[in-house]
Amino acid sequence: MKKIIVSTIGIVLAAGAVSAFAGKADRESLAQCTADIESYYGDSTRTRLRSIKRSSGETHLRLMVNPKDGENTVVVCSVGNDGSSSLANGDGVALITPKAEQKVSYTQ
């Protein structure tokens, strides 16, 4: 009986530790996205987190943004594992992209 209780407590503690690390990474991503949004829209911009989606190599945060002199808008902030971030509006149009991705070429 003791083995079952000790094993259960160990599993619960391990699961709690994993979620605590994920929470810290999400808070860091949110802080980075909020700073990017404030630099794009202005310092008096309010943001509310709507959802977080994780995929391989990136975290996508969907935020409701309320600029001081504008309407509410949805912004999707993508943060890569390397720390690079990009902003796009709700329709997927890029607002801010990482420096390495700003090169555009067009060939016919």
71 vs 13, higher pLDDT: 71
Q: Can you give the residue range of the structural domain that contains 95?
A: 2-101
As given in the structure block, the two tokens for residue 51 are 């959802």
The answer to whether 96 and 40 are in contact (CB under 8 A) is yes
As given in the structure block, the two tokens for residue 105 are 């070429």
- The verdict on residue 108 lying in a domain is no
The mean pLDDT value for 79-93 works out to 89
The answer to whether 16 and 23 are in contact (CB under 8 A) is no
State yes or no: pLDDT of 95 exceeds 80: yes
Report the domain count for the chain.
1
State yes or no: pLDDT of 39 exceeds 60: yes
- The verdict on residue 106 lying in a domain is no
The mean pLDDT value for 42-51 works out to 91
Model pTM? 0.68
- The verdict on residue 23 lying in a domain is yes
As given in the structure block, the two tokens for residue 4 are 């079952």
pLDDT at residue 10 in the model: 57
- The verdict on residue 70 lying in a domain is yes
